[in-house]
Amino acid sequence: MPDTGITRRKFIGLLGAAGMPRSARRRGARAGTAKQKAAPGYQALTAEQVSTLTAFAEQMIPADADAGAREAGVGHYIDHILAGAQRSKLPRYAAGLAALDQTARSLHGRKFAQCTFQQQTALCQALEQGRAPGAAWRKISGQRFFTLAWRHVLEGYYGAPANGGNAGYASWHMTGFLPPRRRRAVKR
Amino acid sequence: MSLPKVNAVVVGSGAGGAVAAKCLSAAGLRVVLLERGPQVNAGQATHDILHSQYDTSGELGCGPALAANPRTYRLTPEQRARRIYPNQGGYGRTAACTGGGTPPYGCMAWRFAEKDFRLKSLYGVPAGTTVEDWPISYQDLEPYYTQAEYEIGISGRAGANPFEAPRSQPYPLPPLPYDRGGRVFARGARALGLHPFPLPLAILSRPYDGRPACIHCNACERFLCEVNAKSAMHATLIPKALATGLCELRTGCMARELRVDARGRARAVAYHGPDGQLQEQPADLVIVACSATETCRLLLNSKSKLFPEGLANRQGQVGRHIMDHTGGAGLPGFFAQPIYQPSGPGFTAAVADFVHARGAPLNGSMIATMAELRQPLAFAENCGGRFGTHPWGLRAKQFVRHYFRRTVGLYAPGIGLPTENNRVDLDPEVRDAWGIPVLRVTHRAHPLEVRSSYFFRNRMIEILRAAGAIEALLPRPASEAEIERAASHIRWGGLGEHQVGGCRMGRDPKTSVLNANCQAHEVENLFVADGSSFPSIGGFNPSLTIQANAYRVSAYIAREWRGGAFRT
């Protein structure tokens, strides 16, 4: 907004003093930082949350010849938005990831990230269809958490690298969204 | 605080408001143009979908800000409305920035068909609807369509669409060429005996009016144009309005209410400035152009002793007859050969054979290629999943990898109808960040809109099949029984970016808010210059018709203006 010198984001912040945006922000900030320490290299998520989240993300987009979600840095993208613009969603992540681990423990005796790939897949399917077992999902809808995290994984993997994910433009080269990399030197 | 009086305040700087501000300031009126969003310009353009106008989980590139602008939505009047935000379906958003929805829009620049202005005369009033004729004809609007095409800068080829209404002038610029997707679509359409043609676009195919031609970058629809080849209002008419020296643009200004004098004439616009302070801008005339939804909201929030239910709303008509292209349908076709090319705009071809013809419900609509699936994120979200589940896992990844480059997306706006129950009014509880009551949207698709959606889905399947799409990946055309079932249990609705109606123009003050000149029946110095005046929506994207109508309304105001108070 060149004529007043206030950026759009600041403008929203100013308005927030009157209404909802600020309260939402405060709630998010407290849940994220008060008790637990963020993992090294992360701003909002703890080491435990990162390991569960990246295992979930790898289920959404597994590695093959092209990078999977973990290698493409999707965890960093989600951490980045949960520490910034979408910090109000951090409590939902904290609850959802904890519930995912709790369900994995009750079914397989291990945390989600330590389950086999097939066990994780089955759990994700149950989550997507709203039939994941466990009392933990009474606090947060498994289906809603799946949709939220699935969408964020896709954003991190297929969005621009400047947002923290899609490391090395992995998905853009994979799809051909970018012009193909030049293989040979220009002919003379 | 009250500011010095001006001749006219235009509220909203989008397709309608920018035209009004430019025409009135050029005619010598002193104008203040209010815009709730910030100034945007080409330097802010990005190719990053996560900061564009696509529905991602974050903020929209051109606004409105999510948390500050809630609304509520319900399917039917019996339901309790739930809170929704601008990146959610059904909200009915338009971008909040200089130029309104036009900076990120897809730039399709259609004229309506002649018959679109006479729906009731041609088809009667289908049960449950409030279909009406326009008080004006296509011929009344034609000169203004031409003026809009020339002043704004539209590319297209006159006569390329054999079903186009008669025009007095050719387009000022030749059409943009077909891309590969356009050629594939045209081949399929021709094989079926249809008549494909290059889309009319508000994108410059050649340098025009001091702006450069399209550079065919890959970020067009839902992105700001980085070179101003898109003929959006912030790059075209707003600078022209400011160049008259008589128009002042105020951004970050949220209109709260219109205030009236003792005789019930509009006296001033009360708005929150960028610092949140309430200001009062007095004027001889007020022109409202905030988009169909927000125009209704502003009038409904303008309560006074003389207008206890909102300004110009003694008959309870404000907010009624609102509609959108709910019968819209989009469909991807997947091909064996690569089609994608990393150059924009990504939508180049259309057919209009099903407009008022060939068994389509009511007015029918055009079918065009679309750019939506040319972004990896949008493709991954929408394609590759089994019905009812999210696309994820290795198979989804493999599908995206293989078919991203082998896809043509088609889109038809379908029909949209005003109905007895669909409307916007004020939510009794929810307020926005300024403390202003927000809109409650009550909207459910009409059975004919559902039929339209299936009709066009079936036509798109035929075109894609004729173009050589992989048969196994095309959906099966819906049978009459399936369509019947879907039309009898409708659970969807909601407004989108093509929203029109809500302050209908008409001859009868009991059933319309505005007269044929878009002047409020009840308030002589109040005009509406956006799509809320439309009695029907047509089967085309509405922006050029909004602009043409704003030219017509502005010409009327300029002609009748006598200085000082406005007389009829």
| Cβ contact, residue pair B50, A163, below 8 Å | yes
CB B294 within 8 A of CB B375: no
**Closest chain A CA to residue B63:** A8
ipTM tops 0.85: yes
Q: What is the CA radius of gyration of chain A?
A: 19
For B456, residues 6+ apart whose C-beta sits below 8 A from its C-beta are B327, B328, B329, B354, B360, B365, B367, B412, B414
Residue A30: the pLDDT is 42
What distance in Å separates residue A81's CA from the closest CA in chain B?
A: 8
Of B375, B401, B433, the CB nearest to A19: B433
Report the gap between the CA of B472 and the closest CA in chain A (Å).
Answer: 22
Smallest Cα distance from B250 to chain A, Å: 9
What digits encode the pLDDT tens for the residues B375-426? 999 999 998 776 667 899 999 999 999 999 999 999 999 999 999 999 999 9
State chain A's mean pLDDT as an integer: 82
> Which 8-state DSSP code applies to residue B257?
E
Q: Find the DSSP H helices in chain A.
A: 8-16, 20-33, 47-60, 74-83, 90-108, 117-128, 142-158, 170-175
Higher pLDDT, A32 or B343: B343
Q: Would you state the pLDDT for residue A188?
A: 46
* CB crowding B482-503: b at 16 or more within 10 Å, else e: ebeebbeebeebbbbbbbbbbb
Q: Do A2 and B56 touch (CB under 8 A)?
A: no
- Which residue among B393, B401, B404 places its CB closest to the CB of A62? B393
CB pairs under 8 A between A and B: 140
Domain range list for chain B: 6-562
In this prediction, residue A3 has a pLDDT band, given cuts at 50, 70 and 90, of: very low
User: Would you say B352 and B161 are in contact if contact means Cβ atoms under 8 Å apart?
Assistant: yes
> Which homologous superfamily is B6-562 in?
FAD/NAD(P)-binding domain (3.50.50.60)
CA distance B193 to B199: 18
**Phi, psi for residue B108 in degrees, rounded to 5:** -65, 130
- Hey, what are B64's tokens? 């409105």
Is the pLDDT at A5 greater than 50, yes or no?
no
Rounded Cα distance, B376 and B219, in Å: 12
- The parts of chain B modelled with pLDDT lower than 70 are 1, 386-388, 565-568
Nearest to B424, CA basis, from B436, B439, B437, B438: B439
* Chain A residue numbers touching B398 (CB-CB < 8 A): 64
What confidence category does residue A131 fall into, taking pLDDT thresholds of 50, 70 and 90? very high
User: What tens digit of pLDDT does each residue of A148-182 get?
Assistant: 999 999 999 999 999 999 999 999 999 999 876 65
pLDDT value, residue A29: 40
For residue B208, what is the DSSP state?
A: B
**Chain B residues close to A15, C-beta within 8 Å:** 65, 68, 276, 433-434
What's the CA gap between B27 and B17, in Å, rounded?
A: 15
Q: Does B38 sit within 8 Å of A19, measured CB to CB? A: no
**CA proximity to A69, closest of A99, A77, A49:** A77
User: Residue B94 and residue B542: Cα distance in Å, rounded?
Assistant: 13
Q: Which residues, other chains included, contact A115 with Cβ-Cβ below 8 Å and sequence gap of 6+?
A: A104, A108, A123
In the predicted structure, residue A10 carries a pLDDT above the cut 60? no
Q: Which residue of A has its CA nearest to B373?
A: A177
The pLDDT value recorded for residue A21 is 30
